[in-house]
Amino acid sequence: MQLRLISWFFITLNFMEYIGSQHASRVRRQGRMHPNVSQGCQGGCATCSDYNGCLSCKPRLFFVLERIGMKQIGVCLSSCPSGYYGTRYPDINKCAKCKADCDTCFTRNFCTKCKSGFYLYSGKCLEKCPDGLEANNHTMECTSIVHCETSEWSPWSPCMKKGKTCGFKRGNEVRVKEIIQHPSARGNPCPATTESRKCIVQRKRCQKEGKGKKNREEKRKKSNKDESKETRQESKGRAARRQNREQRESNNKTQPKKRKAPNKEEDLAPADTAH
């Protein structure tokens, strides 16, 4: 009986020593992995570990795990890297991974940019665009199909032949339309934007440019000549009238005044009285 009690005593003692050693080892490990902020944490870390890097971040920074080979370490960043999206909580801000086909995302279920080979549509990454949409290889998005749009036909041009509007009976007239909206890859293509048709005009001779110019010059000279002739005639007429008027005025000034003819009755009256 005493031997059995002594055995239980030693077993209990050994068990207590084992528990104590495990607790001391845990404390030492925690002390090494969770040092105080003032003990050398860098890169925005609030708490850090020599083995695991950042364990928590300073306010407004995002905590994310980066893989280096077989090891993951924590880092604190001002914004989440490509392939991650940020989530904010009262105690910590974290960067969570996007879906495998998503390059950048707003949330896990809403992608903003897809990886190569996928097209973005309504926040999802698709290998093939839905019906009614087409793949845009520049933006890597599914976009609406755009058909060609044109303006109305312009009025028909004058009937012409070889760039002239005279000297022929049959020619061509043309009308055009403008492209308002160019089509996308799968859109309806644009129709012809130019139309031509035969036309008939009353035949007339083309006036030669040199002859026409000469006639116009002759008409202008003749008109100037007639105007000059009329002007000269008017000037001569005015000069003649002025000269006649001056001549009359000069004659009136130089000619003596005529004496008044005597009255016969008055001259004879004294003689009759004397007799």
Higher pLDDT, residue 50 or 2 = 50
Measuring CA to CA, which residue among 140, 138, 196, 136 is closest to residue 171?
196
Instruction: Give how far the C-alpha of residue 165 lies from the chain's centroid of Cα atoms, to the nearest Å.
Output: 41
Residues making up the chain, counted from first to last? 275
Q: How far apart are CA 256 and CA 251, in angstroms?
A: 10
Which residues share a beta bridge with 149?
181
CB atoms within 10 A of CB 33: 14
For each of the domains in the chain, give its residue range(s) and CATH number, in order of start: 41-97 (2.10.220.10), 151-200 (2.20.100)
Residue 124 φ then ψ, to 5°: -120, 155
114: pLDDT confidence band, cut at 50, 70 and 90? very high
**Residue 216 burial (C-beta neighbours within 10 Å; 0-12, 13-18, 19+):** exposed
Average pLDDT, the chain: 77
Distance CA 65, CA 53 (A): 9
Task: List, for residues 205-260, the tens digit of each pLDDT value.
Answer: 776 655 556 666 777 777 677 666 667 777 777 777 777 777 777 776 665 555 55
Whether the pLDDT of residue 17 is over 50: the answer is yes
Which distant-in-sequence residues (6+ apart) come within 8 Å of 160 by Cβ?
171, 172, 173
Residue 4 has pLDDT above 60, yes or no: no
For residue 32, the model assigns a pLDDT of 44
- For the stretch 255-275, what's the b/e string if a residue is b when 16 or more beta carbons lie within 10 angstroms of its beta carbon? eeeeeeeeeeeeeeeeeeeee
* Dihedral of the alpha carbons of 237, 238, 239, 243, in degrees to the nearest 10: 100
Handedness of CA 73, 75, 81, 87 (dihedral sign): positive
pLDDT, tens digit, for every residue of 82-91? Answer: 889 998 888 8
pLDDT digits (tens, 9 = 90+) for 130-143: 988 999 888 899 99
Residue 1 pLDDT exceeds 60: no
Asked whether residue 185 carries a pLDDT value surpassing 70, the answer given is: yes
The pLDDT of residue 268: 43
Alpha carbon distance 210, 223 (integer Å) = 20
